[in-house]
Amino acid sequence: MSIERVLSFLEQKGMADRVITFEASTATVELAAQALGVEPGHIAKTMSFLVDGAPLLVVLAGDVRVDNHRFK
């Protein structure tokens, strides 16, 4: 989904003002933390796994590692 579609959807819901965009890359936890001036633990990251044929979405602090074996 493009950022334009997301912004359009959020505008319809009255929430477009909650979107923050950056000139610098925020592709990794470290880069996002630098762009925001916070510690990596203050960044929420989302990871997705396929477990028994069903998607599982995990949201965790940026400084936490996932034990992939737990999700297998």
Report how far apart, in Å, the C-alpha atoms of 24 and of each of 4, 21, 28, 36 are: 19, 9, 11, 10
Q: Cα 45 vs. chain centroid, distance in angstroms?
A: 4
Q: Is the pLDDT of residue 54 over 70?
A: yes
**Whole domain around residue 45: which residue ranges?**
3-71
Mean pLDDT of 13-33: 93
Percent of the chain with pLDDT over 90: 62
pTM of the predicted protein model: 0.69
Q: CATH number for the domain including 35?
A: 3.90.960.10
Mean of the pLDDT values across residues 4-24?
92
For the chain, the domain total comes to 1
Are residues 25 and 33 in contact, defined by beta-carbon separation less than 8 angstroms? no
pLDDT band at 25 (very low <50, low <70, confident <90, very high): very high
Tell me how far apart the alpha carbons of residues 45 and 56 are, in angstroms, rounded to a whole number. Answer: 14
Q: Is the pLDDT of residue 10 over 90?
A: yes
